[in-house]
Amino acid sequence: MKLQSKKPTVKNPATQFTGDVWVDMIGVPQDEGQRASTARVQFSPGARSNWHSHGLGQTIHVTEGVAWIQAGGGEVLEVHPGQTVYTAPGEEHWHGASPDAFMEHLVMMDIPDDPSTATTWL
């Protein structure tokens, strides 16, 4: 067992997000063969990601506020605390906060053998 040190909160780049978005990495692969990555992401009101996809998919679990999530030009889902959304590998989507409140979610995803393919920004 190993207690992990807390990593600093990082503001996500404006090239990938609109508005202010911060990420805290919770868990990353520690040993050979592991792929799981988990992060806590906080969005200011109205902030959102740009369109993107994930090579091995992504699970989003809302913990605070109201998230808006859209995939492939479909309907915008309103997701509340305690609800979870899964985006399939390669599914183009965006996610962010409703315009009137902060939003926080956890993201869980597996990192591919080539980490540069984990997220493709469109």
| 98 in Cβ contact with 60 (< 8 Å) | no
Spatial distance between the Cα atoms of 117 and 101, rounded to a whole number of angstroms = 32
The answer as to whether 51 is a domain residue is yes
Q: What is the pLDDT of residue 52?
A: 98
Q: Which residues pair with 109 in a beta bridge?
A: 37
* Whole-angstrom distance, CA of residue 109 vs CA of residue 100: 28
CB 96 within 8 A of CB 27: no
Is residue 44, in this structure, part of any structural domain at all?
yes
Cα–Cα distances in Å, from 120 out to 56, 63, 102, 116?
11, 25, 25, 8
Count of structural domains, the chain: 1
Residue 3 lies in a domain: no
- Alpha-carbon span 10 to 64, nearest angstrom: 19
What's the rounded Cα separation, in Å, for the pair 103 and 54? Answer: 21
Considering the chain, what is the average pLDDT of its residues? 96
Look at residue 33 and tell me whether its pLDDT is greater than 90. Answer: no
Residue 7 belongs to a domain:
no
**103 in a structural domain:** yes
The model's pLDDT over 1-20, given as tens digits with 9 standing for 90+, comes to 989 888 899 999 999 999 99
Domain that holds residue 109: 19-27+36-113
Q: Considering the domain boundaries, does residue 57 fall inside one? A: yes
Q: Does residue 66 form part of some domain?
A: yes
Q: What CATH number is given to the structural domain containing 23?
A: 2.60.120.10
User: Do 63 and 105 touch, CB atoms closer than 8 A?
Assistant: yes
Residue 71: pLDDT band (50, 70, 90) is: very high
